[in-house]
Each structure stands twice: as C-alpha cells, then as structure tokens.
Amino acid sequence: MPESTAPAPFRDRLVGALLGSAVGDALGMPVEGLSHQNVRTYYKGIKEMRADEKRGDLDAGQWTADTQRARALTRALATAAPDSPEEVRTTLALPGDDARRGGVVSPSSALAACAAPLGVQARLRGLKDLASARWAALLLRDVDPSPVAHVAAAAQIAAVRTCLDKDPESLTGAQILDAALSAARDSERLLSADDRVSKRLDALRGHLGETPLDLQDLCNGTGSAADEAFPFAVAMVARSPELVEPTFLAAVNVGGDAAAVGACVGALVGALHGARALPAPWLDALEDADAIRAEAEALVTALGE
C-alpha cells in the first residue's frame, strides 16, 4: 500500500499526476544517459534528489525539457479552449527534442514523458483513445513528428486516464498495461504508424513479476526510443502499482533515459495515489514545486473539476 492509509481525494490524484511527473523527471535527471552500472558506480544508486554531479548541468531537484513541455501543455490547456486542439496549439510553444543526451532518437519517448496533462484532460473531458491520439499528434508534432512517438504519447495518456478512472485499491497492474496496449494499437491504425510500441507492450504482459533489469532487457534497453523508455516505465508501475517510493527509485536506477522514465512513472504513480503520497523531501527539493502545483490546480479547475 502507499504511504497514506486511505485513498487520496480525486482532485489530489489529478494534481498528483502532474506533480508526480515533475518529481520523476527530477529524480532521473542526474543519471539520464548512464548505464545501470554507471549509476551504481557514480551515484551508488539514486535514493533522493541529487545534482548532476558528474556533468554539472543541473542542481538537485531541477528537471529537464520533459517537465518544461508538460508545464507548457498544462498552461495552454488551462488558458485556451480546452476542447479545441487547434486553439490550444496557437498558445503552445514547446522545446524540441534536440537536448536529449546521446543525440536525438526519433521516434522517441519524449512525447510520452510530457503527456500527463493530456491524461488529466482525457479523464475530465471523457476523451477516448482515438481522440487523445489526435490531440497528441497535433500538439506534440513539433517536438517529434514521428507517428510512432505520437502512439507512445497516446498510450501514456490512456494509462494515466485509467489510473485516474479506477479505485487504486482494486486496479491491477495488468489493467494499466492493457490500457496502454489497447490505446497503442488503436493509435497505430489511426496514425498509420508501425507496431513497435504495441509489440513491446504486448511482450511485457507476461513478465510483470520480473526484476527491473529483466524488464529493461525485454525493452531492448531504456534508451530514448518510443518502444524503450516509455514501455519500461509503464511496466515498472504495473509490476507494483501499490508502491510509491520504491517504484520511482527502482525505475530511475536502471539508467538509460532516466528522466523520461521517471516522468512517465511519476505521472502514473501520482494519478494512482495523489500528490499527498509523493515523499515530502522530494517535493521540498523540487524546482518550482509550488508553481507546478498551482498550474496543475488551475488546469483541473479549467477542465471542470
């Protein structure tokens, strides 16, 4: 069970999806691009917010472009017509995907890593998989134009929506993974994308009891590719949906595109257990935590909750 003894209020879970995404991004930031072995060698494992001590890029609690994009989406959805993707797009400016360590990988998991606001929107506006895929393809195409990347985003949206839809005490990990898989298949048909994301999610279905490194192997690593970091993150939540802190840490300590993994994990964990379940020391260290929370609250209000 999570740290809290009773289910979080629904509004807290909506806010938690957005705040959790930023927390996971910041946790994974210092080890992004490192192998699991180097995470252990240089950091002895991530157990708390840490600075990028080896490269000196960011301080403890700072996040990457994943959260920058998610915050831009949150603000745009809160201020523009929330049912018109064309109108939201006119207010939206997102950084591209040229800052990911090790070079750009397209199609990437970057879109899934910033999709939490669209998951909140899907739940509150009753959007189904195909509608969410259209939103993701229109709003996120400047970050990564690949339809396969849009598929990963749509699958993450479905997973977030499912976590928000269900009682966290009765929701199973298999239901989370199956929601992502169904959305991926629908989106692949809609967007004429190849099936690499759905095939990876399907391959993980029978292995949710395995270790993080085994799941990483099943994803061919946890690099930036749309069928690597994103499916791994969903599987990590699905293997232990009742856990909060251990799920975050086990996921980012595998290495690879750890910021994207952390952001995807955080959105799902936050949607399940609420902002109040996020460890207080992590929130205290998180860059702009109060502003991120306020933006999340504004979006939830704008969407009618």
Q: Report pLDDT for 85.
A: 86
Pure H helices in 126-172: 129-140, 147-165
Q: What's the confidence (pLDDT) of residue 7?
A: 76
pLDDT at 164: 97
pLDDT band at 192 (very low <50, low <70, confident <90, very high): very high
53 close to 283: Cβ distance less than 8 angstroms? no
Tell me which of 93 and 148 has the higher pLDDT: 148
pLDDT(277) > 90: yes
The tally of domains found in the chain comes to: 1
> Mean pLDDT over all residues of the chain?
93
Tens-digit pLDDT profile for residues 204-214 = 999 999 999 99
Whether 249 maps to a domain, the answer reads yes
Answer whether residue 50 is part of any domain: no
Q: Is residue 3 part of a domain?
A: no
| Euclidean distance between CA atoms 254 and 241, whole angstroms | 18
Compute the average pLDDT of residues 83-112: 76
User: Is the residue at 48 inside a domain?
Assistant: no
Q: Angle at which helices 147-165 and 129-140 pack, to 10 degrees? A: 130
Supply the pTM of this predicted model: 0.95
Coil vs helix vs strand at 210 = coil
The reported pLDDT for the residue numbered 55 is 83
Assess whether pLDDT exceeds 80 at residue 30.
yes
CATH code, domain with 167: 1.10.4080.10
> Quick check: is 53 in a domain?
no
Does a structural domain hold residue 52? no
Is residue 295 situated within a structural domain? yes
Range of the domain at 151: 10-43+60-95+105-302
